[in-house]
Amino acid sequence: MNTEYLFARKILTLGKTIIANRNDNLRNINLTAEQADALIYFVENPGSSIRNLSNYLSITHQTASGIVKRLCEKEALSMTPSTKDGRCSVVHLTDLGNDLITQVKQNGTHTGAKILSGMSADEKEQFEHLLDLALANIVKQKG
């Protein structure tokens, strides 16, 4: 088997394992990894729409809409009509959503610590550099 294929499989396995780990850790606050990512997006990008979330996460509008709908049902998000475009709604974090962000960030720290455990400071720096390079390469070839 060629090296490129093996690397791609290992990266895919790492990604799936990270998502599973995040989902396990988020289960106690009744969130999925996708919902947590949406909350983080809306706290970092106030006044954004479902379309903005869709573009940011590279998911369909329908999927983003479903995530936002479930977070609204959980009372973590609310939506109001946009003052700029009446066809669009602006998504806001509620007080509960803001409370959940703290727990979501703790989860991310926990998962990140697991990934980096056993690496020296130099290895962590090199790992970050290589991840950035790999991401840049795949984005460059996608476009």
Please indicate whether residue 82 or residue 127 has the higher confidence score (pLDDT): 127
Q: What is the pTM of this model?
A: 0.80
Q: Is the pLDDT of residue 111 over 90?
A: no
Q: How confident is the model at residue 25 (pLDDT cuts 50, 70, 90)?
A: confident
For all residues of the chain together, what is the average pLDDT? 91
Please indicate whether residue 139 or residue 51 has the higher confidence score (pLDDT): 51
Number of other CB atoms surrounding residue 139 within 10 Å? 9
Q: What distances in angstroms separate CA 44 from CA 2, 19, 54, 85, one per listed residue?
A: 40, 21, 15, 21
pLDDT for residue 109:
81
Q: State the average pLDDT over residues 26-33.
A: 92
pLDDT for residue 17:
93
pLDDT for residue 66:
97
Q: State the average pLDDT over residues 47-59.
A: 94
Q: What distances in angstroms separate CA 89 from CA 42, 44, 70, 92, 104, one per listed residue?
A: 13, 17, 16, 10, 25
CA 80 – CA 91 distance, rounded (Å): 7
Provide the β-strand partners of residue 92.
78
CA 131 – CA 28 distance, rounded (Å): 30
CA 32 – CA 89 distance, rounded (Å): 23
Q: Is the pLDDT of residue 143 over 60?
A: no
Q: State the average pLDDT over residues 29-41.
A: 94
The owner of tokens 């606050």 is 29
Q: State the average pLDDT over residues 117-130.
A: 96
- DSSP letters along 59-120, please? --HHHHHHHHHHHHHTTSEEEEE-SS-TT-EEEEE-HHHHHHHHHHHHHHHHHHHHHHTT--
Domain locations in the chain? 3-118
Kindly report, residue by residue over 66-100, the tens digit of the pLDDT: 999 999 999 999 999 888 877 889 999 999 999 99
CATH code for residues 3-118: 1.10.10.10
CA 13 – CA 110 distance, rounded (Å): 19
